[in-house]
């Protein structure tokens, strides 16, 4: 059985690069019409949409801003039709030890990583419920399960995403809207390339499969959860980390 998302519309936040771009490519490759939602400059986002192909469109919106999100969802539904799959992928880090962490660094991370997921999910959930079907896939992180020194804000946001995923899965299950999370481990993207090489090497040694993950490794799990193959899964956290957390 192959995964066929022809006729489906998917919205991917933070789709301009990294994991979001890989997810958008995978979903488009399976036949979905994809909308990339990002704060990045419109020209770069358009270029990514063209690269992904399959009629992908680019919509500029900040997931933190509920009005922006509402306008983006309306625009996408006008251009592509009702949204079948929402992938909440936009995320940021502002690392630092707790005693040095500013309130601004705390709030910025919680806003994008958790409030952004709330804003987006709320904006698409009503339509999915009315249509008696939909998929939401939230990108969490293994540190939302294990915690990580220097990432109190980020880990709290991702633990929050996991709690949100399970709660909303329970609320929406009766309407056949399935809500799951993917928790990546250490994935080779701009986010982790910002780490010093020594830190990357230390982390790599903690991975039983002996390599950093690729964005496509995460995208494959998202594709599965977006497909009919996952129609009996909701409220789950699928860990994609080369065996780092078990």
Residues in contact with ligand NAP by the rule CB under 6 A: 13-14, 16-20, 38-40, 62-64, 89-92, 112, 116, 139, 141, 184, 186-187, 189-192
Query: Closer CB to ligand NAP, residue 129 or residue 207?
Result: 207
CB of 187 to ligand NAP, least distance (A): 4
* Host H or E run for residue 135: strand 134-139
Tokens 């006008």 sit at which residue? 78
Q: Is 220 left (phi over 0), alpha (psi -120 to 50) or beta?
A: alpha
Query: Closer CB to ligand NAP, residue 128 or residue 219?
Result: 219
CB of 188 to ligand NAP, least distance (A): 7
**Contact by Cβ (8 Å): 36, 4:** no
Among the options 72, 143, 154, 184, which is catalytic? 154
CB of 12 to ligand NAP, least distance (A): 9
The yes-or-no answer on residue 232 being catalytic is no
**Contact by Cβ (8 Å): 110, 59:** no
Could you give the CA distance from residue 92 to residue 62 in angstroms, rounded to a whole number?
12
Nearest CA among 220, 231, 225, 238 for reference residue 26: 220
Active-site positions read 154
């Amino acid at each position: 059985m192959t995964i066929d998302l022809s006729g489906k519309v998917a919205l991917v936040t933070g789709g301009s690069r990294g994991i979001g771009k890989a997810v958008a490519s995978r979903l488009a490759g399976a036949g979905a019409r994809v909308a990339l939602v990002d704060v990045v400059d419109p020209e770069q986002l358009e270029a990514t949409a063209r690269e992904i192909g399959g009629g992908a469109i680019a919509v500029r919106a900040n997931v933190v801003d509920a009005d922006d999100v509402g306008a983006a969802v309306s625009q996408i539904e006008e251009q592509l039709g009702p949204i079948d799959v929402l992938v909440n992928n936009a995320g940021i880090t502002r690392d630092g030890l707790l005693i040095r962490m500013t309130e601004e660094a705390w709030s910025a991370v919680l806003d994008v990583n958790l409030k952004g997921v709330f804003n987006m999910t709320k904006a698409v959930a009503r339509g999915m419920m009315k249509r008696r079907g939909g998929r939401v896939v939230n990108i969490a992180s293994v540190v939302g399960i294990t915690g990580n020194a220097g990432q109190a804000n980020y880990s709290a946001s991702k633990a929050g995403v996991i709690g949100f995923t399970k709660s909303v899965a329970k609320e929406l299950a009766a309407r056949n809207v399935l809500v799951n999370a993917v928790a990546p481990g250490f994935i080779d993207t701009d986010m982790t390339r910002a780490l010093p090489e020594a830190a990357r090497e230390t982390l790599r040694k903690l991975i039983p499969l002996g390599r950093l993950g690729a964005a496509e490794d995460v995208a494959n799990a998202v594709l599965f959860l977006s497909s009919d193959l996952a129609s009996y899964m909701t409220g789950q956290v699928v860990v994609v980390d080369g065996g780092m957390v078990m």
